Amino acid sequence: MKKRVVIIGGGIGGLATAFNLKKLSKDLEIVLISNRPYFGFTPSFPHLALGWRRFDQITIPLAPLMAKHGIRFIQESAEAIDPDLNQVKLKSGEKVSYDYLVIATGPKLVFEAEGQEQNSTSVCTAEHAIQTQKKLEEFYKNPGPVVIGAIPGVSCFGPAYEFAFMLNYELRRRNLRHKVSITYVTSEPYVGHLGLGGVGPSRRLMEDLFAEKDIKFVANVKVKAIEKDKVVYEDLNGSTHEIPAKFTMFMPRFMGPDVVASAGDKVANPVNKMVVVNRCFQNPNYKNIYGVGVVTAIPPVEKTPVPTGAPKTGQMIEGMALAVALNIVSDMRNSSDRFAPTLSAICIADMGNEATGFVANPVIPPRSWVKTKKGRWVHLLKSGFEKYFLWKIRRGNVSPWFEEKLLEVLLKLKPVEPCSDCSGPPGSRC
């Protein structure tokens, strides 16, 4: 009888895990549960918000895709997990049993600053990006001050930087830039920190880019409220300040969704409700439960005056997915082999007609090396990668041989490494 792997989440982590499992073993029944009917390429959501992409250009319907690759697809919300009975309860009341469970839901978005959800915008989902695009079209008719940034506890800063640079380019293209001041306000102790203690020269690079593009910045502060005409923040001395704003885009804080919290504190981190995992991204209390992607509880790399979290980039998530798939197959075959993702990161921040790229190995310090590049060719590389990744998803093979070899030869990046002891924290090396 085939073992059943249930995967909750139809994003990069969920699909990468499913396709890796299909490639590694024919003795598995794979069930993918997602409340969304489509896969969306998350790195292009800021482009969707600016109107540079259409929804159909960066999404793929899941039902025909899963059917094509022999994966059962359930389009429904997962409401609860019972780790003792090995069951996932769906919104309809149906209970889906599993031998192995992979939680790849993505985060629950927490709009914590007062008025943030009502008065600001986001680019974290395709739906949010479309709403942002509509608000921008109205804003262009009567422009004014713009404030972009991140509230305390945010772990994903890249889209905020990218949106600021891309909006700067779009305003110039529309001949409106002289009418709009742009300010970046962040919980990071300095610009370029990125929740990672900086990546090589990222602080100097971001300060130079902001100066070059006439974007002001305020770092190391707590955003307290986002109102219709201003942003209110508090500095480390407790003093309150206001910045006029006609349009705002702030990254929300990420937490684990309710379905993860339902599994109890042995699965969900008591503080942020994300999935508790070891360095092999296996839950230490329930060995048949794994976490992949943003929903995993990776601790901050350092304590900062205003709380910041550690980001999980696409490259990291693909490494997690491959390691989890390898570990499930090893366990199913009663093998002692275990694997951990190396968590190297490739990140490209688009700026319109150019881009800045970071490669960090590993992403969590201390690092072996860091590379940074900037130019029009980096912008073209990001556009090309979007098309390449969607091609990979349609093909059902997220880890083509030539890509693995290319990364290994050019950048010395390996997605996973053998691990004799999985008990360490996520991100630590074996």
Closest to 352 measured CA to CA, from 382, 379, 322: 379
Closest to 387 measured CA to CA, from 58, 69, 126, 129: 58
User: In 44-107, at which residue ranges do the beta strands (DSSP E only) sit?
Assistant: 59-61, 72-75, 78-82, 87-90, 95-97, 100-103
Please state, as a whole number, how many other Cβ atoms lie within 10 Å of the Cβ of residue 395.
Answer: 12
Which amino acid, 147?
V
d(CA 281, CA 309): 18
Determine which one of 124, 280, 347, 419 is catalytic. Answer: 347
Closest to 11 measured CA to CA, from 327, 320, 350, 346: 320
Half-sphere exposure of 291 (CA within 13 A, CB side): 30
Tell me the DSSP string of 212-245: HTTEEEE-S-EEEEE-SSEEEEE-TTS-EEEEE-
In sequence order, the β-bridge partners of residue 289 are 101
Is there a catalytic annotation at residue 124? no
Determine which one of 156, 280, 419, 422 is catalytic. Answer: 156
Is there a catalytic annotation at residue 347? yes
Place of tokens 């860091």: 370
Half-sphere exposure of 83 (CA within 13 A, CB side): 21
CA-CA-CA-CA dihedral for 359, 425, 389, 256, to nearest 10: -120
Report, as residue numbers or ranges, the catalytic residues: 156, 347
